[in-house]
Amino acid sequence: MQCKSQWLVFIISCMVYGKAQKNIGAICDDGGFVLEAAFTVAIESVSSEDDPYEAKVVRTTPGDVLEAHYAMCSVLEGNVFGVFAPTNEKALEHVQSISDFLEVPQILVDQSVAHNRNWSAINLYPNHVTYSQAFADIIGNKGWEEFTIIYEGAELLPFFDAIFALQDLEAGNEVLMTVVQLPDGDDFRSHLQTIKKSGSLNYLVNCRRETLETFLQQAQQVGIMSNEHSYVIMNPDFQTIDLDPFKYGESNITGIRFFDPSVEAIQNYVKSINAKVAELSEDQIPEAVTENGLTLSLALMYDAVMLYVAAVKAMALEDGSSVTCESGTGWAFGSTLLNNLKTIATWNIEEGYKETRVIIPAAEIEGSESMKGKHFIVLTALSAPYGMLKESPKKLEGNDRYEGFGIELIDELAKMNEFNYTFDIQADGVYGSLDKKTGRWNGMMEKVMDGRADFAITDLTITAARQKAVDFTSPFMNLGITILYKKPTKQPPDLFSFISPFSLEVWGWLAGAYVGVSLLLFLLGRIAPEEWQNPYPCIEEPETLDNQFTMANSFWFTLGSVLTQGSEIAPIAVSTRMAGSMWWFFTLIMVSSYTANLAAFLTVESKFYAIKSVQDLANNPYDITYGAKKGGATLGFFKESDNLLYQKMYQYMDEHPEYQTSTNDEGLARAKSTEENYAFLMESTSIEYMVERNCDVAQVGGLLDSKGYGIAMKKNSPFRQPMSESILQLQEEGKLTRMKDKWWKEKRGGGACADDDAGSAEAQPLVLANVGGVFIVLAAGSGLAVICAIFEMLVDIWLISHRENMSFIEELKAEIKFIISGSSDTKPVRHREPSGSGSGGSKKSKVEDEESHMEVENNLNAPTPSERSVSHHSRHTLHSRRQSNAVQMARMRKFSKATY
């Protein structure tokens, strides 16, 4: 169930069954059954035999205006007595418009200030002014001299009216108050960290129920829930939160509740709701209300039904409105019933329920906060794009002389609130700062405080000091301080840029893999029996075998794979082929990755950034001077900040007043200047406007803070709320965004600078995390190849030992000894089979071999008939052939002397 109390639309109708029965209808768009169950239980509680009531409920899809329309028209046909607004804002406005036109009363049971313009609405929820005053009293009793207001949505701002009034400098109330809005989503840790760094220990929190528990958990995580910290929770459903996980931090957490959940009547009400939910949900899993989970919205549901039935009985009404959506006239008794609802009774904790009827004088109900028909002086400054002189060949007068974002915003607000205005220009362009010696403000702030202007609008930043002096509307623009500096210059290409696609770590691992696999192939070549081959196929029983995987050949084989050139060496054994295949796969991935990333490095143009952040600017590596607007909010931010880095920067700017400018345009000119290496600190929105029109400067780094621009008015002004509501409406409708695009990117030369940085982010070298997987595959394959080679060697030794009837262990030792020696790329053949039998067979074969070798030698050395007839100039060729034959004979003699 959502924390925000749902607004249920009750259609109170009277459908006569004889004379006794009356139907009370409701339109539910909360998407569940809890509110419907609460409504039905309340109807059953007021029903009796003498005066029976029956609940008639119409469910609609949450936020579906069309369904709400049809549901409203459907229930109106049953002689309704009143309408209670739906939960969705758009559906609420639509149903309210029908209710207003037909003069059918409606009741709300949720915190809302959106119904002020609707005469037919009455809200059982405490008024935001009274509600705010209750918490102002709590804060006063606690004696807080500083605290942070933390709220979730702008719609909750009216509930801080009395809280903001605590900052009354004229009355001597100097309360340090900071306002923080929680971001969208469910992660508030960064904002809570900022609050923690500010040193604030007291917090006034107003957010939805489902957000509240998450907020408290994250506050505990960032360390602002110790015995030093104190919380006041404004949500009336605070009692439904389980606080056990937070009690060990020993924070003081204060909240309020409108009823005691331990009262028997309340517990019975909860049980009845749960029983009805189970009945309504049928096959679906019921959404139960816990013992302490009764929200204020559900409690007010019961009170609303009681109140309405009491009003109907007091007027002795038997027939409903008898109006439909097609009716041209309203209900004659609608306004009378509404007045009865407003005056039927009061309740307080001291006296309880008390019937009363109060006549309010007309002078008191006059809309003192209404802006309709009034005329205001609006102060602005000629600061582009907020306020500018209009370019026109004709002579212009009055408000027609000005244009800009602020000018258009005031015009929209005037149309929405139906007031008139005249612009006044702050000639010196001073927005206003406090002179601590005299205690007086200057500039635009002074005129607003003195009443010489009703409103002030420009790029006027809402600061804590200004908030104490004047009231601000809700921010119409959010921004932060950042750096304006020259655009980064193009960096000349690096002579060794071909190394860039891989990080140094990857290059190191690649070199290690190359050496490791080369040594592995050399070792596998010595282990695998099949890699030892007969070098002379014409000799069936050689005395030695050759191995192609010498140390040099192993490194050559792997190098050829890396360079995609291959080599004349081809693995023979299963193990060497497996290792070679893994290496080829490895090189395929690495070479492909290198080629792809090299293309990125060659096509992306590198740029030289003298500074990338405020830290770089403070360290000043390239003798960059920097400053801000003299007396502006940006300079004040650095002055008041408790951040050591910002304090260092303020000290620098304070010691060099020549770097402070009188206007933002002067700062832009100095930042663009080729004669000065200057960076200008200013607000991000102004920088956005400048870089759209000045292509040689850019915004550097992120935002140093978060703030907003607001419309200033005199303290405790009655116009703050309607102006804030109108600004929020413009934001929701997207008009403020369209206005910003218009004045930033379209008007007055906007969009002149193409974003040449778009899509040109610097290419990044691949790190080990990008290609680490292929190294793992290579290592696994190499390990498997080693296992395979050892298996091949063991099988070969086992076959030899059985064939020669020798010890397997002895043969294994001899083989391992030869492998470890690594001294030769030739391997003597052990256990050659003799050509004859018997003991003399060996000697005989040796003699025969010797004779055979001598015969071959003679035949090789003897000249052939053709050689005898060759001319003198061919003798050199014959000599070379004889030398080659002599080499072959020497090798054969070497074979005959083998010991095996």
Query: Rounded to whole angstroms, how far apart are CA atoms 444 and 717?
Result: 17
CA distance 591 to 703: 41
| Structure confidence at residue 860 (pLDDT) | 46
Q: Are residues 122 and 143 in the same domain?
A: no
498 touches 760 (CB < 8 A): no
Q: Does any domain span residue 223?
A: yes
- Residues 134, 119, single domain; the answer is no
Those residues whose C-beta lies under 8 Å from the C-beta of residue 303, and which sit 6 or more positions away, are 109, 124
Confidence of residue 756 (pLDDT cuts 50, 70, 90): low
- In tens, the pLDDT along 87-101 reads 777 887 888 888 888
Instruction: Judge whether residue 115 has pLDDT over 60.
Output: no
pLDDT at 205 over 70: yes
Q: Do 712 and 445 contact (CB within 8 A), yes or no?
A: yes
Q: Are residues 545 and 593 in the same domain?
A: yes
Q: How many distinct structural domains can be found in the chain?
A: 5
Q: Are residues 232 and 305 in the same domain?
A: no
13 contacts 77 by C-beta, under 8 angstroms: no
Do 753 and 694 contact (CB within 8 A), yes or no? yes
The angle that helices 189-198 and 209-222 make with each other, rounded to 10 degrees, is 60
DSSP state letters, 12-26: EE---BTTTBEEEEE
C-alpha distance across the termini of the chain, in Å: 92
The answer to whether residues 593 and 696 belong to one domain is no
User: Is 179's pLDDT higher than 60?
Assistant: yes
Q: Is residue 554 one of the residues assigned to a domain?
A: yes
Averaged pLDDT of the chain: 78
Q: Are 638 and 646 in contact (CB under 8 A)?
A: yes
Whether the predicted pLDDT of 17 surpasses 50: no
With respect to residue 834, please indicate whether it lies within any of the assigned structural domains.
Answer: no
- The answer, yes or no, to whether residue 104 has pLDDT greater than 70, is yes
Environment class of residue 133 by beta-carbon count within 10 Å: exposed (0-12), middle (13-18) or buried (19+)? middle
Residues 592 and 676 in one domain: no
Q: pTM for this one?
A: 0.41
What span, in angstroms and rounded, lies between the C-alpha atoms of 900 and 895? 10
For residue 745, being part of any structural domain is answered with no
Q: Which of 185-199, 210-224, 231-245, 309-323 has the lowest mean pLDDT?
A: 309-323
Within a 10 A sphere around the Cβ of 408, how many other Cβ atoms? Answer: 17
- Whether residue 891 has pLDDT greater than 70: no
In percent, the amount of the chain with pLDDT more than 90 equals: 21
User: Higher model confidence: residue 500 or residue 690?
Assistant: 690
Rounded Cα gap, residues 339 and 51, in angstroms: 23
Q: Alpha carbon 137 to chain centroid distance?
A: 38
Distance from chain centroid for Cα 409:
30
* 724-746: pLDDT as tens digits: 999 999 999 999 999 999 999 88
Q: Are 122 and 133 in a shared domain? A: no
Q: Judging by DSSP bridges, how do beta strands 202-206 and 176-181 pair with one another?
A: unpaired
Same-domain check for residues 633 and 598? no
Number of residues that this document lists for the chain: 900
Residue where a domain terminates, one of 796, 826, 856: 826
What are the structure tokens assigned to 95, written together? Answer: 């149903």
* Residue pair 413/727 in contact by the 8 Å Cβ criterion: yes
Tell me the pLDDT tens digit for each residue of 458-509: 999 898 889 999 999 999 999 999 999 988 766 666 667 677 788 888 888 8
Backbone φ and ψ of 43, nearest 5° = -65, -45
Is residue 466 assigned to a domain? no
CATH number of the domain enclosing 211: 3.40.50.2300
Confidence at 605, pLDDT banded by 50, 70, 90: low
Parent domain of 240: 128-254
| CA dihedral of residues 438, 439, 440, 441 (deg, nearest 10) | 120
Q: Give residue 867's pLDDT band: very low, low, confident or very high (50, 70, 90).
A: very low
In a shared domain, residues 346 and 267: yes
* DSSP assignment of 426-459: -TT-----EETTTTEE-HHHHHHHHTS-SEE-SS
What CATH number should be reported for the domain holding residue 617? 3.40.190.10
Task: For residues 524-536, give the mean pLDDT.
Answer: 75
Q: Could you tell me if 508 and 567 lie in one domain? A: yes
Q: Would you say 385 and 747 are in contact if contact means Cβ atoms under 8 Å apart?
A: yes
Q: Locate 792 and state its tokens.
A: 């091949």
Q: What is the DSSP code string of 838-890?
A: SHHHHHHHHHHHHHHHHHHHHHHHSPPHHHHTS-GGGHHHHHHHHHHHHHHHH
Angle at 91 between CA 73 and CA 126, to 5 degrees: 110
- Residues of the chain with pLDDT > 70: what percent? 79
Of 332, 365, 398, the residue at which a domain comes to its end is 365
CA 363 – CA 457 distance, rounded (Å): 32
Label the pairing between strands 471-472 and 434-435.
Answer: unpaired
User: What are the CB-based long-range contacts (under 8 Å, 24+) for 604-608?
Assistant: 604/760, 604/761, 604/762, 604/763, 605/490, 605/491, 605/760, 606/490, 606/491, 606/493, 606/494, 606/762, 607/488, 607/489, 607/490, 607/491, 607/762, 608/488, 608/489, 608/490, 608/491
The neighbour count for residue 477, using CB atoms within 10 Å, is 21
Per-residue confidence (pLDDT) for residue 491, from 0 to 100: 61
349 and 277 in one domain? yes
Residue 390 lies in a domain: no
Q: What would the mean pLDDT of 697-725 be, rounded to a whole number?
A: 91
353-369: average pLDDT = 39
Asked whether residue 760 is domain-assigned, the answer is no
Q: Where does the pLDDT of residue 167 fall: very low under 50, low under 70, confident under 90, or very high at 90 and above?
A: confident
- pLDDT at site 148: 95
CA distance linking residue 512 with residue 70, whole number of Å: 75
Say yes or no: 597 and 618 in one domain.
Answer: no
Q: What is the mean pLDDT of residues 72-85?
A: 75
Owner of token pair 């639509």: 94
Residue with tokens 């002389």: 401
pLDDT digits (tens, 9 = 90+) for 432-472: 988 888 889 999 999 999 989 999 999 998 988 899 999 99
Structural tokens at position 890: 């020497």
Residue 480 domain flag: no
CA distance linking residue 665 with residue 629, whole number of Å:
10
Would you state the torsion angle of the CA atoms of residues 842, 844, 848, 854, taken in this order, to the nearest 10 degrees?
90
**pLDDT tens-digit series, residues 762-821:** 667 767 777 677 778 778 877 887 887 788 778 877 877 777 777 778 777 777 777 777
- If phi > 0 it is left, if psi is from -120 to 50 it is alpha, else beta; for residue 172 that is left
Tokens 């080629």 correspond to 595
- Asked if residues 87 and 30 have their Cβ atoms less than 8 Å apart, the reply is yes
